[in-house]
C-alpha cells in the first residue's frame, strides 16, 4: 500500500493505493475504487475490503471523501452528494493515468452510504464496468426520513435554513455529531436501535476508531441531500453488472436491507445479484471476519466474472 492524492476541482483527495502481492509495474491489472461509509475514512472498513481485493489481484484505491479525513475541499465535514459523487469520477480520472491499470477493467465498491454514492456515480461514470455495494444506503432517503415523524424533513430543512442565515451573518459553521459519542451517552439517550448501538461500538471504541473519522458533520451542508436520491434513474442508467450484499440479521434504522432490495428491483442491469448474509447486521459486514469472508467470497466471483 502507498499513500497518494488525486484532484477534485482545486483540492487534493487523499487515498491509499493497495497493490497486489508481487506487483509488477510492467504488467496491467484490473482496478477497483473502494468508498467508505458516511462518517468513516479510508483506514476503516474500506481498508479491509481493499486489502482483501488486492490479495485477489486488483489494484484498489480507497479514498477519503472530500472535506473529510485527510482530504481537502471547500470546508470541513461536508456531506454534499454532488461533491461525493464527483470524488468517484476523479478517482477514475486518476486510475486511468496509471500505466499498470487496465482502463477497461475498472470497478467500484461502496460500503453503507458510500454504496449509494458508488451506484449514483456509476450511472454516469461509464468507466466503471462492475458495481458492488456492501450494506449500501441511500443518504437522501435517510435525510428525508430523519426521526421518522411525518414532518421530519421539513423540520430539518427549517433548521438548516436558519443555520445558513446565522452563518451568512457571521456565525461559525455548526458542526454536530452523527451518533452519540460514547456508550454511556447512548444509554443516557435511551436509544436501542441496533444500527445506532453498533455504530457507537464501531466508531467510538478501538474496534474501528480512527483519527480520520471524528464523528463530525457540518449541519448546513446536508441541505442538498434532501432532494437527492442515490437510485434515481437507476432503472434507465444503471446497466453495468451489479452485486448487492446486505445483512440478514436484525434490520436497523439505517435501512440498508430495504435499500438493497429497492436497488435490486430497480436497476436496469441485466446481470445483477443480491446476497443476504444470514444473521449479519449492518456493522457485522464492516469488520467481523466471518461476515466479511462471506461477502468476499461473493465479490471474488462477481469481479472475477465481470472485470
pLDDT per residue over 183-201, tens digit each?
999 999 999 999 999 999 9
Q: Tell me the domain boundaries of the chain.
A: 2-145+225-306
297 alpha-carbon distance from chain centroid = 20
> Which grid coordinates belong to 238?
444503471
Q: Which CATH number fits domain 2-145+225-306: 3.40.50.1820, 1.10.3720.10, 3.40.50.1370, 3.90.1010.10?
A: 3.40.50.1820
Q: What pLDDT is recorded for position 148?
A: 82
Q: What pLDDT is recorded for position 95?
A: 98
Q: What does the alpha-carbon distance between residue 154 and residue 151 come to, in Å, rounded to a whole number?
A: 5
Q: What does the alpha-carbon distance between residue 165 and residue 168 come to, in Å, rounded to a whole number?
A: 5
Q: What pLDDT is recorded for position 147?
A: 83
What SS3 class is residue 137? coil
Q: What pLDDT is recorded for position 120?
A: 98
- What is the percent of the chain where pLDDT is above 70? 100
Beta strand ranges found along 112-262 (DSSP E): 128-134, 175-176, 217-218, 242-247
For CA atoms 271, 230, 85, 113, give the dihedral sign.
Answer: negative
List all residues 6 or more positions away from 61 whose beta carbon is below 8 Å from its beta carbon: 4, 15, 16, 17, 18, 31, 32, 33, 34, 50, 91, 94, 95
pLDDT digits (tens, 9 = 90+) for 57-85: 999 999 999 999 999 999 999 999 999 99
Q: Are strands 11-18 and 59-63 parallel, antiparallel or unpaired?
A: antiparallel
- Residue 135 per-residue DSSP state: S
pLDDT digits (tens, 9 = 90+) for 7-41: 999 999 999 999 999 999 999 999 999 999 999 99
Beta bridge partners of residue 111, listed in sequence order: 134
List all residues 6 or more positions away from 91 whose beta carbon is below 8 Å from its beta carbon: 6, 13, 15, 33, 61, 63
Segment of 107-111, 190-194, 248-252 carrying the highest mean pLDDT: 107-111
List all residues 6 or more positions away from 211 whose beta carbon is below 8 Å from its beta carbon: none
Q: Which residues of 231-268 are buried (b: 16+ CB within 10 A; e: fewer)?
A: beebeeebbbbbbbbbbebebbebbbbebbebbbebbe
Beta bridge partners of residue 13, listed in sequence order: 6
Amino acid at each position: 500500500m502507498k499513500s497518494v492524492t488525486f484532484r477534485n476541482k482545486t483540492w487534493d483527495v487523499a487515498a491509499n493505493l493497495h497493490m497486489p502481492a508481487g506487483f509488477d509495474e510492467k504488467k496491467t491489472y484490473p482496478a477497483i475504487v473502494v468508498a467508505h461509509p458516511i462518517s468513516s475514512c479510508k483506514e476503516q472498513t474500506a481498508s479491509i475490503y481493499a486489502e482483501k481485493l488486492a490479495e485477489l489481484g486488483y489494484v484498489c484505491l480507497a479514498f477519503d471523501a472530500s472535506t473529510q479525513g485527510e482530504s481537502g475541499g471547500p470546508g470541513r465535514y461536508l456531506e454534499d452528494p454532488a461533491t461525493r459523487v464527483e470524488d468517484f469520477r476523479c478517482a477514475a480520472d486518476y486510475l486511468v493515468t496509471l500505466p499498470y491499470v487496465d482502463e477497461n477493467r475498472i470497478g467500484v465498491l461502496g460500503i453503507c452510504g458510500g454504496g449509494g454514492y458508488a451506484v449514483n456515480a456509476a450511472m454516469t461514470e461509464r468507466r466503471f464496468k462492475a458495481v458492488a455495494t456492501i450494506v449500501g444506503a441511500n443518504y437522501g432517503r435517510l435525510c428525508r426520513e430523519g426521526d421518522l415523524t411525518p414532518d421530519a424533513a421539513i423540520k430539518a430543512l427549517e433548521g438548516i435554513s436558519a443555520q445558513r442565515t446565522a452563518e451568512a451573518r457571521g456565525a461559525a459553521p455548526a458542526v454536530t455529531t452523527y451518533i452519540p459519542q460514547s456508550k454511556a451517552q447512548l444509554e443516557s439517550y435511551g436509544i436501542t436501535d441496533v444500527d445506532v448501538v453498533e455504530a457507537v461500538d464501531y466508531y467510538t471504541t478501538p474496534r474501528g476508531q480512527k483519527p480520520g473519522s471524528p464523528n463530525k458533520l457540518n449541519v448546513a451542508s446536508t441541505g442538498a441531500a434532501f432532494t437527492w436520491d442515490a437510485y434515481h434513474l437507476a432503472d434507465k442508467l444503471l446497466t453495468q453488472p451489479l452485486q448487492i450484499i446486505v445483512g440478514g440479521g436484525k434490520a436497523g434504522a439505517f435501512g440498508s436491507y430495504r435499500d438493497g432490495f429497492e436497488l435490486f428491483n430497480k436497476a436496469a442491469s441485466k446481470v445483477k445479484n443480491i446476497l443476504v448474509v444470514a444473521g449479519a447486521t449492518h456493522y457485522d459486514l464492516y469488520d467481523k471476519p466471518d461476515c466479511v469472508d462471506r461477502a468476499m467470497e461473493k465479490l471474488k466471483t462477481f469481479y472475477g466474472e465481470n472485470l
